Amino acid sequence: MIRIIVNGEEREISSPCSLQDFVGSLNLSSQRVVIEHNGEVVPSGKWGEKELHDGDRLEIVHFVGGG
């Protein structure tokens, strides 16, 4: 089991996965999300290259439009 911190809350994932796979499991659109991985902003085009490991920290900001 891999433990990561997402927006200050601990989560467990069953196996290593890419940042892209993790975001996909949350059903978030990459066009409206900014992710910081261990203190560094990761462009959405690089999410598939970042693998999550035990103890990683993510900050996910999801933009919502409205009027």
State phi, psi for 50 to the nearest 5 degrees. Answer: -95, 115
Q: What is the pLDDT of residue 20?
A: 93
State phi, psi for 8 to the nearest 5 degrees. Answer: 85, -5
Q: Give me 49's structure tokens.
A: 């290259």
pTM (global) more than 0.85: yes
Q: What is the pLDDT of residue 67?
A: 60
Q: What is the pLDDT of residue 66?
A: 67
Average pLDDT over residues 46-61: 95
Tens of pLDDT, residues 8-48 = 999 999 888 999 999 989 888 777 889 999 999 999 999 99
Instruction: Residue 44: name the closest of 56, 52, 55, 36 by CA.
Output: 36
Question: What structural domains and CATH numbers belong to the chain?
Answer: 2-62 (3.10.20.30)
Q: What is the pLDDT of residue 16?
A: 85
